[in-house]
Chain A
Amino acid sequence: MASAPVSVSAMRETMDVLLEISRLLNTGLDMETLSICVRLCEQGINPEALSSVIKELRRATEAMKASENMTN
């Protein structure tokens, strides 16, 4: 249904809605990350895999921070 070029305002509105949902669900995604995720999902990426990747990445970040702290 959205194959035709959609107006930027509609896109923005959608993103706002999604961001609101994301906030409600407390996913911790910011606008940019969310938009990347939405684009990935729109391209048919398996959300299960994607969510696990994001979690792992977060964990890795935590670990890196922790190690930095330790070294510091």
Chain B
Amino acid sequence: MATPEQKSPNVLLQNLCCRILGKGEADVAQQFQYAVRVIGSNFAPTVERDEFLVAEKIKKEFVRQRREADGALFSELHRKLQSQGVVKNRWAILYLLLSLSEDPRKQPSKVSNYAALFAQALPRDAHSTPYYYARPQTLQLNYQDRNVQSVQNSAALGSSGIGSIGMYSLNGPTPPPQTFVPGQSFQTPAVGDSLRQQLGTRLAWTLAAGQQPALQNITNKCHPNTVSRNVPRTRREGETSGSVEITESSLVRDILYVFQGIDGKCIKMCNSENCYKVDSKVALSKSLKDTTGRLAELGWLHNKIRKYTDQRSLDRAFGLVGQSFCAALHQELKEYYRLLSVLHSQLQVEDDQGVNLGLESSLTLRRLLVWTYDPKIRLKTLAALVDHCQGRKGGELASAVHAYSKTGDPYMRSLVQHILGLVSHPIVNFLYRWIYDGELEDTYHEFFVASDPTVKTDRLWHDKYTLRKSMIPSFITMDQSRKVLLIGKSINFLHQVCHDQTPTAKMMAVAKTAESPKDAADLFTDLENAFQTKIDAAYFETSKYLLDVLNKNYNLLEHLQAMRRYLLLGQGDFIRHLMDLLKPELVRPATTLYQHNLTGILETAVRATNAQFDNPEILKRLDVRLLEVSPGDTGWDVFSLDYHVDGPIATVFTRECMSHYLRVFNFLWRAKRMEYILTDIWKGHMCNAKLLKSMPELSGVLHQCHVLASEMVHFIHQMQYYITFEVLECSWDELWNKVQQAQDLDHIIAAHEVFLDTIICRCLLDSDSRALLNQLRAVFDQIIEFQNAQDAMYRAALEELQRRLQFEERKKERETEGKWGVTEAEEEEENKRVLEFQESIPKMRSQLRILTHFYQGIVQQFLVLLTTSTDESLRFLSFRLDFNEHYKAREPRLRMSLGTRGRRSLHA
């Protein structure tokens, strides 16, 4: 029999038909045709081709039938079969055997009525079997048509498992009396069981769950249950027949329409109450009415979802995220429609057969209630989603959907997760376009990065791209979205501002992968944080590349140092030389200054000092700038150095930054000038001290001058120390560290801004320390005034000295000529002049005294302000300025706030 020769399947099939029917080839033509059609149209199996799985199922089946010994025997046989290796398609054979298996404990009950009917209907069924092994469909729906099929096959496999209970109850050797259950067909239970097993779908499970307890009940009280099973059935029959207007089957028909949102004959949409209601004229029992009401909810839910998708799918401005949400809803609705169509076809089959097969096989409201239980939960979830998503779009919509995925119900969660996957797919697409290509294709403003097309490239980094807070999906953290923004911004910055056309693939080693919608949802919700690492990697690479480009091609750090050296007077020799050169120019009124002269001087200063070794790129940008001239200004007031910034580095050195730099420069320049003036004063002291020794009447004045000058020198030195070491160097060090560690351009910009702010604040240039600055300015003014006064005094003194020397010389000359050295008139004139000069000395002294007084007053005021300042370094400055407590002795207010307690008690 197991001949190796290969016969064609058709021949084999014919053999099979003959064999089973026990007839000759001619008589089985009809059945053979049918068999060929069924086999031919279902070539691919709808179940997993897994031998192990099938074997496991068979074992389970044995266990279920309490035939563990047979199960062991089967395992043995199966192993043997495997070891022999003659059969290739072992799973198929095992599967076939399993499908055909029957529980030996039961009498195989062959039923005549239905089978006869089937035999008649067979030819037609072969042409139009709507339920017969349809083509493999998506898994989610399989259960629905499978179900119907199972209902068809085992007509008694009812919604509550009653049918199969019936089968189990028929353990007895006697077949049930035909009359007992009229019109009911008893299919072999194995069909139902094996079907249920092979399907493994949800509804099958619900059936199984329903069966299990009932089964236990029934096996205990074996026979009576047949009666109990029939009792409610007959009672209901009585009920339905009692109502004249309507039967249950017509209600079922109506309900099927209502499921699609179409009003039925007697179930209509009630607008006032916003629900489906059974026509009030129709008399219905309360239970039927109740069931109908519960079923009709499905229609209402369907309408709600349908309305939303219909409204939105036409709305173009709704955006891609919204469209995919609608698509997801449609997909769900489609599955729902599939269920409906299956139900309809079931109804159709019943009509076509035109015979009342008995209540067990037909659709009933109760059966529908069970079958639509899962779809109802689905629709409910969808309707809730629709409600929640009303009026939202883009990322907001995704957030709304995401909020619903946080449920403990795994079934609902998987549904929402699926929708979320679809909804977030466009967002993921946006995201990848943005972080890998820097492109923003967001026509409907759904993505959480917004671009302002009016912003020019010079402000690209600062203003062009912003976060749309409302559109950030809730599954993306603020930190992540900020990084996402930064990544795309960096890419755009590189392309548009730095004109760096390196393809992003080269920038990033991160391989970008095409993501399907399933991955999208996983990506956002997984615990492994793949998304986070992806973003981090892209962020890290892009930022690093950007900083590299800025540092290498645009010398960002060198420019930063240049700012420090030139605008913050870090390059001492250059500044000193520049001041030397500029001094004659700058003492002139500001209106007579010309920029080109000053530029020339600047170049001279650069060439003469170490600045010449600097990068020409930097020196090129160094320039002179004259501030706005107000009447009475000298060159000193309007002169300023300038540094031209453009291109990418202008992103760090913005206009505001440069104006800050200018203010700081002016302050430092002024302070520097004071130092310069005091050096001049000191030089004057040194030079003139010997000359004026011959004029003893001046010694008092000179002493006064020296005292005041050294007071000023002390003050300015301490100020310079403070500015240089406590302000500039400290902040600079901080900035430099931060810049070295910076991960992205924003860090550098922020560090730089902090640096500038600190300097502005510590240099008393901010609005809070205006009073201090005014005092300081006054001190500076006093120094200038002192310089002028001293210059005038020296001039007068030197002139007097000159005259006296001339007088003496003339005297000597005449004496050598043998004449009288002086005439009386001459002597008188000389004495008069000397007297005049000596009389001018008290005036000088008083002028100096006034100057000293003012100066000290201002300094004391300054110190008082310093001690009350909140800044610690300023308080230390005041301590240093008044180290020997010279001012404290004069100013009572200083005594209170400065110094230790011991000192205070000393003064008291």
Establish whether residues A61 and B133, one from each chain, have CB atoms under 8 Å apart when the complex forms: no
Q: Which residue of B lies closest to A63 (CB)?
A: B119
B534 lies within 8 A of chain A by Cβ: no
How far, in Å, is B555 (CB) from chain A's closest CB?
72
Establish whether residues A41 and B96, one from each chain, have CB atoms under 8 Å apart when the complex forms: yes
Establish whether residues B94 and A21, one from each chain, have CB atoms under 8 Å apart when the complex forms: yes
A27 lies within 8 A of chain B by Cβ: yes
Q: Which residue of B lies closest to A67 (CB)?
A: B116
- Alpha-carbon distance A26/B111, docked complex (angstroms): 19
- Alpha-carbon distance A42/B89, docked complex (angstroms): 5
Which chain A residues lie closer than 8 Å to B19 at the CB level? 32-33, 36
B678 lies within 8 A of chain A by Cβ: no
Could you say which of B20, B62, B94 contacts A61, with CB atoms under 8 Å apart?
B20
Which chain A residues lie closer than 8 Å to B43 at the CB level? 46, 49
B691 lies within 8 A of chain A by Cβ: no
Which chain B residues lie closer than 8 Å to A48 at the CB level? 42, 45-47, 95, 99, 133, 198
- Alpha-carbon distance A64/B16, docked complex (angstroms): 17
B632 lies within 8 A of chain A by Cβ: no
- Alpha-carbon distance A31/B35, docked complex (angstroms): 20
Say whether, besides A54-B100, A60-B122, A47 and B45 are in contact (CB < 8 Å).
Answer: yes
How far, in Å, is B188 (CB) from chain A's closest CB?
8
How far, in Å, is B157 (CB) from chain A's closest CB?
15
Q: What is the 8 Å Cβ interface bit string for chain B, positions 184-199, against chain A (1 contact, 0 not)?
A: 0000000100000010
How far, in Å, is A48 (CB) from chain B's closest CB?
5
Interface of B is mostly: helix
Establish whether residues B1 and A15, one from each chain, have CB atoms under 8 Å apart when the complex forms: yes
Q: How large is the interface on A (under 10, 10 to 19, 20 to 34, 35 or more residues)?
A: 35 or more
Q: Which residue of B lies closest to A40 (CB)?
A: B12
Establish whether residues B58 and A14, one from each chain, have CB atoms under 8 Å apart when the complex forms: no
B110 lies within 8 A of chain A by Cβ: yes
Establish whether residues A33 and B96, one from each chain, have CB atoms under 8 Å apart when the complex forms: no
How far, in Å, is B242 (CB) from chain A's closest CB?
36
- Alpha-carbon distance A25/B6, docked complex (angstroms): 27
Which residues of A in the span 1-48 have a Cβ within 8 Å of any Cβ on B?
1-2, 5-6, 8, 10-15, 17-18, 20-22, 24-29, 31-33, 35-48
Which chain B residues lie closer than 8 Å to A5 at the CB level? 4
B66 lies within 8 A of chain A by Cβ: no
Which residues of B in the span 184-237 have a Cβ within 8 Å of any Cβ on A?
191, 198
B712 lies within 8 A of chain A by Cβ: no
Q: Which residue of B lies closest to A6 (CB)?
A: B86
Establish whether residues B4 and A13, one from each chain, have CB atoms under 8 Å apart when the complex forms: no
B793 lies within 8 A of chain A by Cβ: no
- Alpha-carbon distance A11/B191, docked complex (angstroms): 30
Which residues of B in the span 103-125 have a Cβ within 8 Å of any Cβ on A?
103-104, 108, 110-112, 115-116, 118-119, 122
Which chain B residues lie closer than 8 Å to A60 at the CB level? 21, 31, 115, 118-119, 122
Q: How large is the interface on B (under 10, 10 to 19, 20 to 34, 35 or more residues)?
A: 35 or more
Which residues of B in the span 12-53 have a Cβ within 8 Å of any Cβ on A?
12-13, 15-17, 19-22, 31, 34-35, 38-39, 42-47
- Alpha-carbon distance A21/B567, docked complex (angstroms): 96
- Alpha-carbon distance A67/B130, docked complex (angstroms): 27
Which chain B residues lie closer than 8 Å to A39 at the CB level? 2, 7, 12
Which chain A residues lie closer than 8 Å to B84 at the CB level? 10, 13-14, 17
Which chain A residues lie closer than 8 Å to B94 at the CB level? 21
How far, in Å, is B75 (CB) from chain A's closest CB?
10
Establish whether residues A49 and B2, one from each chain, have CB atoms under 8 Å apart when the complex forms: no
Establish whether residues A38 and B93, one from each chain, have CB atoms under 8 Å apart when the complex forms: yes
Establish whether residues B118 and A59, one from each chain, have CB atoms under 8 Å apart when the complex forms: yes
B561 lies within 8 A of chain A by Cβ: no
B74 lies within 8 A of chain A by Cβ: yes
- Alpha-carbon distance A48/B99, docked complex (angstroms): 8
Establish whether residues A2 and B133, one from each chain, have CB atoms under 8 Å apart when the complex forms: no
Q: Which residue of A lies closest to B44 (CB)?
A: A46
- Alpha-carbon distance A45/B36, docked complex (angstroms): 11
Which chain B residues lie closer than 8 Å to A63 at the CB level? 112, 115-116, 118-119
Could you say which of A13, A14, A51 contacts B100, with CB atoms under 8 Å apart?
A51
Establish whether residues B81 and A14, one from each chain, have CB atoms under 8 Å apart when the complex forms: yes
Could you say which of B7, B34, B58, B103 contacts A56, with CB atoms under 8 Å apart?
B34
Which residues of B in the span 58-89 have a Cβ within 8 Å of any Cβ on A?
58, 61-62, 70, 73-74, 77-78, 80-81, 84-89
Could you say which of B16, B46, B93, B191 contacts A18, with CB atoms under 8 Å apart?
B93
B848 lies within 8 A of chain A by Cβ: no
Establish whether residues A11 and B2, one from each chain, have CB atoms under 8 Å apart when the complex forms: yes
- Alpha-carbon distance A36/B849, docked complex (angstroms): 132
How far, in Å, is A3 (CB) from chain B's closest CB?
8
Which chain B residues lie closer than 8 Å to A41 at the CB level? 89, 92-93, 96
How far, in Å, is B28 (CB) from chain A's closest CB?
9
Establish whether residues B2 and A47, one from each chain, have CB atoms under 8 Å apart when the complex forms: no
Which chain A residues lie closer than 8 Å to B87 at the CB level? 2, 14, 18, 38, 42
- Alpha-carbon distance A62/B185, docked complex (angstroms): 13
B408 lies within 8 A of chain A by Cβ: no
Report which residue of B9, B38, B85, B100 has the largest number of chain A beta carbons within 10 angstroms of its beta carbon: B100
How far, in Å, is A60 (CB) from chain B's closest CB?
5
B101 lies within 8 A of chain A by Cβ: yes
Could you say which of A17, A22, A46, A55 contacts B191, with CB atoms under 8 Å apart?
A55
B754 lies within 8 A of chain A by Cβ: no
A71 lies within 8 A of chain B by Cβ: no
Q: Which residue of A lies closest to B84 (CB)?
A: A14
Which chain A residues lie closer than 8 Å to B86 at the CB level? 2, 6, 10-11, 13-14
- Alpha-carbon distance A6/B9, docked complex (angstroms): 21
Say whether, besides A26-B101, A38-B87, A41-B89, A64 and B74 are in contact (CB < 8 Å).
Answer: no
Say whether, besides A2-B86, A2-B87, A37-B16, A49 and B119 are in contact (CB < 8 Å).
Answer: no
B783 lies within 8 A of chain A by Cβ: no
Establish whether residues B74 and A57, one from each chain, have CB atoms under 8 Å apart when the complex forms: no
How far, in Å, is B44 (CB) from chain A's closest CB?
7
How far, in Å, is A65 (CB) from chain B's closest CB?
9
Say whether, besides A48-B42, A52-B133, A58-B20, A2 and B85 are in contact (CB < 8 Å).
Answer: yes
Which residues of B in the span 875-900 have a Cβ within 8 Å of any Cβ on A?
none
Which chain B residues lie closer than 8 Å to A51 at the CB level? 95-96, 99-100
B102 lies within 8 A of chain A by Cβ: yes
Q: Which residue of B lies closest to A3 (CB)?
A: B88
Which chain A residues lie closer than 8 Å to B6 at the CB level? 43
- Alpha-carbon distance A50/B96, docked complex (angstroms): 7
Closest CB pairs A-B (n = 8): A63-B119, A51-B99, A25-B101, A27-B100, A41-B92, A49-B42, A47-B96, A66-B112
Can you pick out 20 interface pairs between chain A and chain B where the beta carbons lie within 8 Å of each other? A14-B86, A21-B78, A25-B101, A26-B101, A28-B102, A32-B1, A38-B87, A38-B93, A39-B2, A42-B87, A42-B88, A48-B42, A48-B99, A48-B133, A48-B198, A49-B133, A50-B96, A57-B35, A59-B119, A60-B122
Known: A48-B42, A48-B133; 16 extra A-B contacts, CB below 8 A, are A1-B85, A14-B2, A18-B97, A21-B74, A42-B87, A42-B88, A43-B12, A45-B39, A46-B44, A48-B45, A49-B42, A53-B34, A55-B191, A56-B122, A61-B21, A67-B116
